[in-house]
Structure 1
Amino acid sequence: MSGPEIGRAAEDGGPGQPGVGARAGAGRPASARELAGIGGPVPGEGSSARVEGPPPGEGPRVVALGGGHGLYASLSALRRVTSELTAVVTVADDGGSSGRLRRELGVVPPGDLRMALAALCGDDEWGRTWSEVVQHRFRSEGELHGHAVGNLLIVALWEKLGDTVAGLDWLGRLLGAHGRVLPMSSVPLDIAAEVELDGEVSTVRGQVACALTPGRVRAISLVPEDPPVCPEAVQAVLDADWVILGPGSWFTSVLPHLKVPRLAEALHATRARRLVALNLAPQPGETDDFSPQQHLEVLRGHAPSLPIDVVLADTGVVDDREELHKAVVELGGELVLADVAAPDGSPRHDTRRLASVLGEIFHKKR
């Protein structure tokens, strides 16, 4: 793999639960054996277990914001680069298993949170097994059909503990997660999108409607407009060395974080460097025909004063480097072009390639 090409475009948590730690890496989480109270060996533990990533307490403090498959990709790479990792996850999903649980129980939709926890599972037998278990979906003719095991585990912990963050921390300990997962808000949110079709603009509400309504999404807002933020998420951003935005569904997974007022304030106030990881392909129903620079223009439109330090794009998806470079200059950052896509040509990030490039960026910018 060729190294990243860096183009210069500018001169130059709240308290954790017992045994969990206030942020990723602040004290080693209880092992699976300790958590389960098992005296004998646990599958995946021991000298034969292969755990890829730095030891506890090493690496920069990184906060990754997003949701869905894009956040899964970034977390899968980042846990190989740092042990000080926190995911701040969107909570606006209203479809599938998450939507059903949200409507029936009034909870924060758990699906994106579950995927983030699965991405943080280790490469040993324990981690691989639990990652598959929490991602497993039931197939039946009854009401369990389509529900993910992890969604049900998360909601059960919330009901048992009465605390959203504590429930996620407990499941993270069980999975042996290499990092911490937090919701961006403590209440379920709705996305309201302005969609243009044939010169007329209409407003649709809901993540599913945003993705499926014909037309081009112009802007999004949240309902409620000023939701209660997760305080641990704010603190993680303020304490971070790096904040990562993207990749992911631009209007429904990435931009919503910029519309939570207190979280947006923290993103402006933090001393962390801010990195935007661009998508490998347009998102159907959201960013059809968008160029990489158009993604940045939309980002700037939703957060005009947010400084960006680095923009990472895959070499193979940039048709006009000069235009992209100009867009990055307007954000005050520098452009990094690197081969981070899967070598088979599919529009997905290669975990090890992305990890290698991010590690190099973090090292050069210390």
Structure 2
Amino acid sequence: MVALGGGHGLAASLGALRRMTDRLTAVVTVADDGGSSGRLRAELDVLPPGDLRMALAALCDESEWGLTWRDLLQHRFTSPGSLDQHAVGNLLIVALWEILDDPVQGLDWVGRLLGARGRVLPMASVPLAISARVRGSDRVVVGQSHVATCDEEIEEVVLDPADPPACPESVEAVRAADWVILGPGSWYTSVMPHVLVPELARALHETTARTCLTLNLSSEDGEARGLTPAGHLDALAKHDPELRVDVVLADPTVVDDVEDLEAAARRLGARLLMRQVRRGDGTPHHDPLRLAAAYQDVFDDFLGDVGTPAR
């Protein structure tokens, strides 16, 4: 299994997939320019470590050892000084990068410390910048943190550099996968960037793996403003017309027009699977056990309402 994304969305899919396999690789966006990650990126000219840290924490061993190191990784300082809101894990990851001079090896060492059930890799070998063009205007929003909070409809996003070097291990993982899981997550800043790295996109087009696209549980007030569930799929297809998907997974509570979403899924070559994957408390967060059960239906080709085989 290879899961692509970033932030809380990727952590949600990893929390489900880790219950099913330890042959799991997370491929993580590296465009974050805000908070602790943005400060370290600007000061030390490194990949932003925050989303990588969150993916590692999601894969930690659930022993006392793993959970203690996970909590340390996620711990943030509170102070009136320069350490305020820095995550310990971000500092640890960047320190290992400086010692080892190899981002992938550094992440592997943190994974060993956590007893991680899987591997975490960066999407690209260099830090990226995201820009978004606003619909119906010439205005361009620059920077991941600004795009994520944009309150206008987004027409298009681009990366800078436009043709960045993909992480070779990430490309290899996609090509060798049985399944690729894309989403959930912030659509333009966590999900979309993977199809904008040419070498990684090419691997997604050419891999023999099947692909599952997981939709979000809410339309964010920021970057996804104005996007219906079908609109999410059409936006992805617009940015990568060659992308083909096998299954689109959606929670029925967020789908107002099932036929519209089914049509958008068909345009990607996919079938739609509707499953309850939301937590029972009503918050827009995925329940890891429900999401794992839905993924199991995806992998078993049980895509009907009552487990009708797809083939």
Q: TM-score range by the shorter chain?
A: over 0.9
Distance in 1 (alpha carbons) for counterparts of 2:169 and 2:245? 23
CA RMSD of aligned residues (A): 1.2
- What are the within-5 Å matches in structure 2 for residues 181-196 of structure 1? 181-196=120-135
Q: How many residues align?
A: 303
Distance in 1 (alpha carbons) for counterparts of 2:43 and 2:259? 50
**Looking at both structures, which has the greater relative contact order when contacts are Cα pairs under 8 Å and sequence separation is at least 6?**
1
1:289 counterpart residue number: 226
CA contact (8 A) 1:216 1:288 kept: yes
Aligned to 2:89, which of 150, 153, 169?
A: 150
Larger radius of gyration: 1
2:200 counterpart residue number: 263
1:301 and 2:238 equivalent? yes
Could you tell me the TM-score, scaled by structure 2's length?
0.95
Q: Identity over aligned residues, as a percent?
A: 60
1:72 and 2:11 equivalent? yes
User: Deviation digits for residues 161-217 of structure 1, max 9, x if unmatched?
Assistant: 000000000000001000000001111100011113xx3231121101212344111
1:102 and 2:36 equivalent? no
Distance in 2 (alpha carbons) for counterparts of 1:356 and 1:126? 27
1:119 counterpart residue number: 58
User: Deviation digits for residues 228-270 of structure 1, max 9, x if unmatched?
Assistant: 1100000000000000110000000000010000000000000
1:235 and 2:169 equivalent? no
Distance in 2 (alpha carbons) for counterparts of 1:309 and 1:175? 33
SS at match of 1:156: helix
CA contact (8 A) 2:148 2:186 kept: no
2:252 counterpart residue number: 315
Could you tell me which amino acid in structure 2 is paired with residue 278 of structure 1?
L
CA contact (8 A) 2:215 2:229 kept: yes
Could you tell me the TM-score, scaled by structure 1's length?
0.81
CA contact (8 A) 1:92 1:190 kept: yes
SS at match of 2:109: helix
Distance in 1 (alpha carbons) for counterparts of 2:148 and 2:74? 23
Distance in 2 (alpha carbons) for counterparts of 1:339 and 1:214? 29
CA contact (8 A) 1:81 1:358 kept: no
2:141 counterpart residue number: 204
Deviation at 1:101, TM superposition (A): 0.1
Distance in 2 (alpha carbons) for counterparts of 1:329 and 1:75? 26
Deviation at 1:363, TM superposition (A): 2.6
CA contact (8 A) 1:211 1:284 kept: no
Could you tell me which amino acid in structure 1 is paired with residue 8 of structure 2?
H
Distance in 1 (alpha carbons) for counterparts of 2:296 and 2:65? 26
Deviation at 1:123, TM superposition (A): 2.0
Could you tell me which amino acid in structure 2 is paired with residue 160 of structure 1?
I
Could you tell me which amino acid in structure 1 is paired with residue 245 of structure 2?
I
Deviation at 1:284, TM superposition (A): 2.1
1:254 and 2:176 equivalent? no
1:360 counterpart residue number: 297
CA contact (8 A) 1:74 1:247 kept: yes
Distance in 2 (alpha carbons) for counterparts of 1:211 and 1:357? 28
SS at match of 1:200: coil
CA contact (8 A) 2:153 2:226 kept: no
Distance in 1 (alpha carbons) for counterparts of 2:230 and 2:91? 39
Deviation at 1:227, TM superposition (A): 0.5
Distance in 2 (alpha carbons) for counterparts of 1:333 and 1:204? 32
CA contact (8 A) 2:150 2:223 kept: no
In structure 2, runs of 5+ residues without a counterpart are 303-310
Deviation at 1:289, TM superposition (A): 3.3
SS at match of 1:201: coil
Deviation at 1:288, TM superposition (A): 1.6
1:162 counterpart residue number: 101
User: Deviation digits for residues 266-310 of structure 1, max 9, x if unmatched?
Assistant: 000000001100000012211123211010010110111111100
Distance in 1 (alpha carbons) for counterparts of 2:125 and 2:47? 7
Distance in 2 (alpha carbons) for counterparts of 1:285 and 1:154? 29
